[in-house]
Structure formats: C-alpha cells, structure tokens
Amino acid sequence: MLDQLRSCLGPAHVLTGKDAEPYGWDWGHESFEAPLAVVRPGSTAEVAEVVKWANATGTPLIPLGGRTGMAGGGQGEGALVVSLERMNRIRDIRPDARSIVVEAGVIIAKIHDAVEPHGLIFPLFFGARGSAMIGGALATNAGGSNVLRYGNTRDLVLGIEAVLPTGEVVELMHDLHKNNSGYDLRHLLIGSEGTLGIITGAVLRLRPKPGAYATALVGMKSLAPALDLLNRIQLATGGAVEAFEYMPDTYITDFLRLRPEARAPFAENHKANILIEIGALAPRDCVPLADGSVPIVSYLEEVLAELHDAGVIQDALIATSEAQRSEIWSMREAASEVAAMKKPLMIMDVAVPVDRMEAFIFKANIALADLDPSATTSIVAHLGDGNIHYTIFPTSTDLSHKDRLVEAIEDVVVEMKGSFSAEHGIGTHKLSTMARRKDPVALAAMRAIKGALDPRGIMNPGKLLPGE
C-alpha cells in the first residue's frame, strides 16, 4: 500500500514499525498512538503527491512539526504522519523589506539566528523554540511571551504556501502589507491545526532588534497593582514593553525544586513575581552613557524605586548583564518542565480580559477547592495579554472527576467573558469543551468550511471540531 510513496519519496523517507514509533508519542510521553507510517517529504511538490495519494485512498493524514504541541493535535492511531522536518530551508532573507521566506520545517530558533546578523528579530519567543518548527506554530497560531508588543503568530505572517486536501497547492507567498483581494485564506489556514491543509512555507514579518533591553523581576504582595504598573511603563516608553509575565510564589518554589542549582531571586518570598522586559530602539535609550549606564535600564530602575518607596512593590531584581537577563528568563521558560514534575496533571490554557486576571485566579481556586480540596496548582501567566496557564494536579485520575474540574474552571472563564483556549489550540484535549462552550453557529460555520475544503475528511481528523 505504501510502495507508491516509497517510489515518490525514497524508501528512507517512509518509516514504519520501530522507526515510526517516536512520532506516535505526545508531548511529555503521556500517551502513544501508533501511526500507519511516517513520511518525510522534502519539498512542497512531494507533500502534494502524498496528499493526493491519501485523498485517493481515503487515508487520514496528520501534519507534524517539532512535536511540542500540548493539546493532542499530532497523534492518530493508524494515520499517516507527514513530518515536515526535511523541509527546513530558509529560502530568502530580505533585510530591507524586513521579511524572511521559510519552509515549514525550519526550527524557530534557527530563524532567530539567521536574522540576528541583519539587526532584526522574528519576535516569536517561547520555551520550546529550540525544537518547535514554524509550521506547527502557524498551524496553532502560537503565542508566547512577546504577544504584548508584537501579536500572535498570525500577526507575524505576510504570505503563506499550503497544500490543500485535494493535493492542490495554494501559493500566497506575497511580501505585502496590504492585499485586499478576497477571502484571507492565509488567516484561515493559520490556526486551523492541520485540519484544512498542510502549511509548507511562509513569508514572515521581521522587526528591528532592540538596541538594549531592560529586564527586571518584581516582587509584589498581590496582582492588584500590576496592571497599573504595566500601563505606566507602557505610556512612558511609547509601548516598548515586550513581556509582562506573572509567576506566583508557589511556582518559584517548584522551580527551585526543579533546578536546585538556581538561586532564589529574593531573600523573601513574594505572592506575586512579575517579569518585566522593555525593548528600546531609540539611540537615546540604548547607547551607554559615560558612566557605563544604559538609559532605558536607568529609567526602569527609577520607576521601580519610586514604586518601592510608595509601597506598591516590595522588591526588584534588575538585570545588569545578559547573563542576569538569561537567569531571570530561565525561571519563566521552565514552566512546562515545572508542570511536568507532578502527576497527574491537567493543563488549562485560558484567556480573560487583562483587568480580570486576579479575579479569575481567585474564583478558579475556590471552584477547585470545592471539588477537590487537596488538589494543587501551578500557575504562570502572560499577564500583559490575559493568557493564564492554570495547571491542576488533581487527587484522582478518574476521568469523570477531571471533567467536573474542567467544567468548573470553564464556568469561571465564561463568567469572566474569556476563552477556554488562548495559545495551545484545541487538538483532542479540548474537544468536549468546544462542544460545550463554542457558539453553535460558529461551530456550524467551521464544519461547513471543513466539509467544503476536505470532503473526504482526511486532514487531521478528530481534531479541533467535535463530532468530526
């Protein structure tokens, strides 16, 4: 049955049996689903041939990138996994246009490294960037730590190339900031989790690399004053805050248990720990003065000193070197590892309006305690954009118990007029939530789009849309 694919791709790029097993594990190796086989096309034309074969034979396909997804979107028993790992070429860098043309299998950190010599950045940063591929980030519309300033992945894409479920290639690799020529298929494919086609390439938007960063970790009694702190710094810096991240004291304790060689940031524990990073572009903010001080760093020091004197914050650690900046960031970027320290776990990735984050955490904790008084949590948040990673460690593995916990937290999300999925996607893990919480008219429209583009239902079936 696979001989046609072997002929097209070469036998070395059609994996079966033990060779295919690594592609059947989810993130964290919590579950395994054996694929029919794994194919590794090396070009868009080869992807198209694979999809045509699958469409003709009715074989389900699962597009796969760096396998860092956290919603169960990259697995399927008996499906053909299409790994984009060989499509790892950077086709072009256009410094003057501030764009880069890449294939879907390029690892995100490689993009960062490629554009840095040009004084540019691709501002998509999260902990798994050293193994995550840009195709997976596009398929899930990934977020990360810099959404506050630069937006989600969707906001960083100018053009796209994809293979539709028929095997036809849609070529929209425009390096354009304005293109008002009908339905935006680019945005339709981004965030579709491989259910509408396989993204094979993209034109990405680049930004100037800040000339200096001011990075600090701030200790506070509560989250209450945090939003005012963010707004004050945003106003004074012209919107230059790149990251505004929240870590409670319990998270810091767990991090130090994970990394015993790391240093505690403060002599005392603080209920709320806020990571602030400002990226300065103007020379007046970036160029060191005669005494060696960097203006943007000095400004942040002044603001935090005033707030400390006013009792708004209780402590602050300001990075004075790149090593200190990396040390501060290492705490936040270990969130997935910290969560994986305990079992069983339930990762809830939600978004609420930024002014309701403290209220959400308070009410969610009450709801959790009512149903499972001995359950614990690990919480971190992209505080600047309202995205909370609310990880629960329940006392029971019973599925009905877990469902009750999920529904209780969902009730709080709905009360706060939030979203039950912020940046991880739906995959299989949130199908029941989609069925319960998504507007039924919106679901019907999504199913109509899916049916029109993929009438045979071969593209990542059983993901994103409940009942598919």
CATH number at residue 62: 3.30.43.10
Q: Give CA torsion, residues 377, 383, 387, 388, to 10 deg.
A: 10
Question: pLDDT tens-digit profile of 244-286?
Answer: 999 999 999 999 999 999 999 999 999 999 999 999 999 999 9
Question: What CATH number should be reported for the domain holding residue 265?
Answer: 3.30.70.2190
Q: Are 273 and 253 in contact (CB under 8 A)?
A: no
Indicate whether 235 and 328 sit together in one domain: yes
Indicate whether 110 and 200 sit together in one domain: yes
Sign, Cα dihedral of 142, 81, 451, 178:
positive
In this predicted structure, what is the pLDDT of residue 284?
A: 93
The partner residues of 273 in beta bridges, in order of sequence, read: 219, 247
In this predicted structure, what is the pLDDT of residue 23?
A: 95
Question: Which phi and psi angles does 375 have, rounded to 5°?
Answer: -70, 150
Q: Is residue 175 part of a domain?
A: yes
Pull the structure tokens for residue 206: 């680049």
In this predicted structure, what is the pLDDT of residue 259?
A: 96
The partner residues of 276 in beta bridges, in order of sequence, read: 216, 244
Indicate whether 243 and 276 sit together in one domain: yes
In this predicted structure, what is the pLDDT of residue 467?
A: 87
In this predicted structure, what is the pLDDT of residue 1?
A: 81
pLDDT of 198 strictly over 90: yes
pLDDT of 323 strictly over 90: yes
Q: Is residue 431 part of a domain?
A: no
Indicate whether 44 and 121 sit together in one domain: no
Q: Are 298 and 204 in contact (CB under 8 A)?
A: no
Q: Are 41 and 10 in contact (CB under 8 A)?
A: no
Q: What percent of the chain clears pLDDT 90, i.e. is strictly above it?
A: 95
Indicate whether 325 and 220 sit together in one domain: yes
Indicate whether 219 and 302 sit together in one domain: yes
Last residue of a domain, one of 83, 99, 116: 83
Question: pLDDT tens-digit profile of 399-451?
Answer: 999 999 999 999 999 999 999 999 999 999 999 999 999 999 999 999 999 99
Indicate whether 79 and 141 sit together in one domain: no
Q: Are 24 and 423 in contact (CB under 8 A)?
A: no
The amino acid that residue 79 corresponds to is A
Q: How many folded domains does the chain comprise?
A: 4
Q: What is the pTM for the complete model shown?
A: 0.94
pLDDT, average across residues 388-408: 96
Q: Is residue 432 part of a domain?
A: no
pLDDT band per the 50, 70, 90 thresholds, residue 26: confident
Indicate whether 233 and 328 sit together in one domain: yes
Q: Is residue 122 part of a domain?
A: yes
Question: Which phi and psi angles does 21 have, rounded to 5°?
Answer: -55, -45
Which residues does 22 contact at the CB level (< 8 Å), separation at least 6?
Answer: none
Pull the structure tokens for residue 263: 């240093």
Last residue of a domain, one of 174, 208, 242: 208
Q: Is residue 133 part of a domain?
A: yes
The partner residues of 247 in beta bridges, in order of sequence, read: 273
Which domain, by its residues, includes 372? 342-425
Q: Is residue 102 part of a domain?
A: yes
Pull the structure tokens for residue 20: 């295919």
User: Measured between alpha carbons, how far is 278 from 212 in angstroms, rounded to an integer?
Assistant: 8
pLDDT, average across residues 29-51: 94
User: Measured between alpha carbons, how far is 203 from 279 in angstroms, rounded to an integer?
Assistant: 24
Alpha helices per DSSP H over 63-141: 108-115, 134-140
Q: Is residue 315 part of a domain?
A: yes
pLDDT band per the 50, 70, 90 thresholds, residue 31: confident
In this predicted structure, what is the pLDDT of residue 225?
A: 92
User: Mean pLDDT across the chain, nearest whole number?
Assistant: 95
Q: Is residue 467 part of a domain?
A: no
User: Measured between alpha carbons, how far is 344 from 68 in angstroms, rounded to an integer?
Assistant: 19
User: Measured between alpha carbons, how far is 454 from 450 in angstroms, rounded to an integer?
Assistant: 6
In this predicted structure, what is the pLDDT of residue 30?
A: 74
In this predicted structure, what is the pLDDT of residue 414?
A: 96
Indicate whether 101 and 200 sit together in one domain: yes
* Closest C-alpha among 239, 233, 213, 244 to residue 380: 244
pLDDT of 468 strictly over 90: no
Indicate whether 290 and 365 sit together in one domain: no
pLDDT band per the 50, 70, 90 thresholds, residue 48: very high
Indicate whether 305 and 231 sit together in one domain: yes
Indicate whether 267 and 176 sit together in one domain: no
Pull the structure tokens for residue 306: 């005033």
Last residue of a domain, one of 208, 241, 268: 208
Question: What CATH number should be reported for the domain holding residue 112?
Answer: 3.30.465.10
Question: What CATH number should be reported for the domain holding residue 360?
Answer: 3.30.70.2740
Q: Are 216 and 318 in contact (CB under 8 A)?
A: yes
Q: Directed axis angle between helix 399-415 and helix 357-371, to 10°?
A: 150
